[in-house]
Structure 1
Amino acid sequence: MEIKTAFGNATSVYQDSMKIRTAVFIREQHISAALEQDGDESRCTYYVGYDKQIPVTTARTRVTADGLLVQRVCTLAAYRHQGLSSQLFTAIEKDAKSAGVKQVWLFAQDQAQTFYLNNGFQVVGDQVMEAGIAHHKMIKAV
């Protein structure tokens, strides 16, 4: 898998990320398009994994006071359970460490918690609802 990154929402990497996010969050999970995109789109770094030039997995990141926030993590259904998101996280964590960031954190959908636990994250805090889906905050030192 080839991984490309770009900052901001005026790039082809962002457009590819949105194709994946639309397929997974809007079409598959029925999240409103108005909720799926937000005011942070132009302030994030986007990661997209490509299989034979097809965008198949994505995440966005931005530095916060708590470390590197990872959001909008998703993989097209036909490409799940192949380790692609784990490869994406390896790249994200490597970049975070190179930038001097000490911690990566996110709000994981509860149905995806096992993936994050298997990738070294820990659950912290109580359950929260986002877009009608149960989430927990999870952190990982890098």
Structure 2
Amino acid sequence: MEKSHDAVIESHDATPLWFSCFAWLLPAGILTQFLTAGLGLFLDPGLLGLHGAIGVSIALPTIGLLAGSLALMRLRGLAWLAAIVTALYGVQVVLAAGGAGLPLSLHPANGALLLCASLALLAKVERRRTRATLA
């Protein structure tokens, strides 16, 4: 019997479109966060407000990915990675709320971890979708 990773168990069941959209929106939003932060620091400080607004808006795909992976049995294999993404997002919010000093200096490093975790989740979702179309 062939063993497979739990992220692809029941891959014959389609990944919902909304879940795939959230998986794509999250890394795109985080990348936009990096771009607006850099532009805000070096070009136009007014863009830091946009940076904050995007940070708040990516809560929707973050929570949606976790809720979907916990609510739908066929997405349960993605729940551990969605939980890591959600935890890193929570740490990111706490670091940003710190204001200045050490917590704020860790904000970009945690953002990089969050981007990596969201890309890993996206890769698993896309791998799952590819296997579903091949089956």
TM-score by length of 2: 0.29
Larger Cα-atom Rg:
2
Q: Which has the higher helix share?
A: 2
TM-score by length of 1: 0.28
Q: Which has the higher strand share?
A: 1
Q: Which has the higher contact order (CA 8 A, sep 6+)?
A: 2
